[in-house]
Amino acid sequence: MGKKIIIIIGIILLVLIGTVSTLLYFALAMSNEKQEVEKPAVGNSTLSIDESHITFLLNEIGAYQLHSSVTGKKPIIEVWADDEKFSSDVSGGKITTTRNLGNSPDIRIKTSKKEVVDALLSQNVTEYAKNSVSAGKTNLEIVAGYTELFTKGYLKIYTELTGKSFTGSVVRMFRR
């Protein structure tokens, strides 16, 4: 009888330690402050965009809040603007964007160069992005699994941009 109680107490302690350490991880990981990213210049008549434009837009919609998963995988966002393709990763609140596509993106944002330029010229980038998604001019594709997205902090950004939540799908997934 005494061994069973010790085993039960041990299991409870392991669960508590695991829960506390996970909560502590997420509390520390979500403490990224918004980076000051200089707004890149854009001409009204040009549809030329580069890495600085994508980095600025992602920072404005809150990608700086993303963090590595418990396994250490960085958040990776692909952005396709017509024929231009970019890959951005987030580490410590800093967004780094390159022209080549990264490995295993979490989400893919498909839009036009005109939408990128119009967002940059708008007074409120986040509001413009929401309206663009709502109007179907910008599409968000979920590439990674819901658990991966949740652990990296995509929920808030996805919900804000789409007005939808992917947590219902996560709940259905775990019920199976």
| 62-99 tens-digit pLDDT | 999 999 887 788 999 999 999 899 999 999 889 999 99
pLDDT beyond 50 at 171? no
Q: How confident is the model at residue 21 (pLDDT cuts 50, 70, 90)?
A: low
| CB-neighbour burial class of residue 168 (10 A; exposed 0-12, middle 13-18, buried 19+) | exposed
Position 45 scores a pLDDT of 54
11: CB partners within 8 A, 6+ apart: none
Q: What is the pLDDT of residue 169?
A: 46
Cα–Cα dist 13/141, whole Å:
40
Q: Is pLDDT above 70 for 30?
A: no
Task: Supply the pLDDT for residue 43.
Answer: 66
Q: Residue 164 above 60 pLDDT?
A: yes
Give the burial string for 78-89 (b: 16+ CB within 10 Å, else e): bbbbeebebbbb
| pLDDT tier at 176, thresholds 50, 70, 90 | very low
For the chain, which residues make up each domain, given as ranges? 51-175
Q: 8 in helix, strand or coil?
A: helix
Q: Are 69 and 144 in contact (CB under 8 A)?
A: no
Position 173 scores a pLDDT of 38
Of 1.10.3470, 3.30.70, 3.40.50, 3.30.1050, the CATH number of 51-175 is 3.30.1050
